[in-house]
Amino acid sequence: MNERIRELYEQARLHAKSIDADIDPKGWMDEYHRKFAELIVQECVLISRTSTDGFSAGNRMQEHFGVQS
């Protein structure tokens, strides 16, 4: 996992703190997953909009997140 994914994970985790995981663990996980997915999509949109160096947007996203297919 690269540093940017760790940062997005942490942002989603902090966002989900508004829900008490001890009282509502499913609600906490649902909110964490929703926010984490939203942050990843936002990052992908940004990458695709700024992809001008000859790489496809998909290649840029793989490189950005450190993911191999």
> What is the C-alpha to C-alpha distance for residues 38 and 20, in angstroms, rounded to an integer?
21
> What is the C-alpha to C-alpha distance for residues 28 and 12, in angstroms, rounded to an integer?
10
What pLDDT is stored for residue 32 in this prediction? 94
pLDDT at 69 over 90: no
Summarised one tens digit per residue, pLDDT across range 13-60 is: 999 998 998 999 999 999 999 999 989 988 887 877 776 666 677 777
The model's pTM: 0.75
What pLDDT is stored for residue 49 in this prediction? 74
> What is the C-alpha to C-alpha distance for residues 46 and 12, in angstroms, rounded to an integer?
18
| Cα separation values, 29 from 14, 17, 37, 42, 57, Å | 12, 10, 12, 20, 30
Here the tokens at position 25 are: 């663990």
